[in-house]
Structure 1
Amino acid sequence: MSVPKEHMMPMLDASMKKPSSRIRMIDGIYALILLAGASYAYVIYSAAMGSYGSGTLWGAALGLAFLGWL
């Protein structure tokens, strides 16, 4: 007795979701690493430039980290 095709599709969908969720987890870790690197670069370069109080470098660092995450 063969299994109907409708019953096989959910199993295929469940097996396809596992690698995707693993990739999203790795992607989230990568985003945290990018954000930490951007924060470190902001502190170092803004201290060297004397613009620690202005948020322009911080905004640029966050923007680049977000774009790297996409």
Structure 2
Amino acid sequence: MADSRQADKFVIRLPGGMRDRIGAAAVAQHTSMNSVIIQALESYLDGQEHQKILLEALSEKLERLEEA
């Protein structure tokens, strides 16, 4: 993992209460708030990619059914 001084940084404004929710999740998981946020972003992005693949497969299947 990169040294935190060399890692990409991004400032974000959170809606009210979200910082507390992230903090509580970090305490429950015995990790940092940063780790919780990174895990959530990775999960979301992986899910988006998975959804894209499924939709493309469904679209191809529908095209084949319409041709038949």
TM value normalised by structure 1: 0.49
Give the structure, 1 or 2, with the largest relative contact order (CA under 8 Å, sep 6 or more).
1
Match of 1:19 among 21, 39, 61: 39
Q: Which residue in 1 is equivalent to 2:66? A: 46
Q: Which residue in 2 is equivalent to 1:28? A: 48
Match of 1:37 among 57, 60, 65: 57
Q: Which residue in 2 is equivalent to 1:56? A: none
Q: Which residue in 2 is equivalent to 1:52? A: none
3-state SS in 1 of match to 2:33: helix
Could you list the structure 1 runs, at least 4 aligned residues long, displaced by more than 4 angstroms after superposition. none
Distance 2:37 2:56 in 1: 29
Provide Cα deviations, 1:49-70, integer angstroms capped at 9, x if missing partner: xxxxxxxxxxxxxxxxxxxxxx
TM value normalised by structure 2: 0.51
Which runs of 5 or more structure 2 residues have no equivalent in the other structure?
Answer: 1-22
Aligned-partner residue type, residue 37 of structure 2: K
Which runs of 5 or more structure 1 residues have no equivalent in the other structure?
Answer: 1-8, 49-70
Calculate percent identity across the aligned residue pairs.
15
The structure with more helix, counted as a fraction of residues: 1
Superposed CA RMSD: 2.0
Structure of higher CA gyration radius: 1
Aligned-partner residue type, residue 39 of structure 2: P
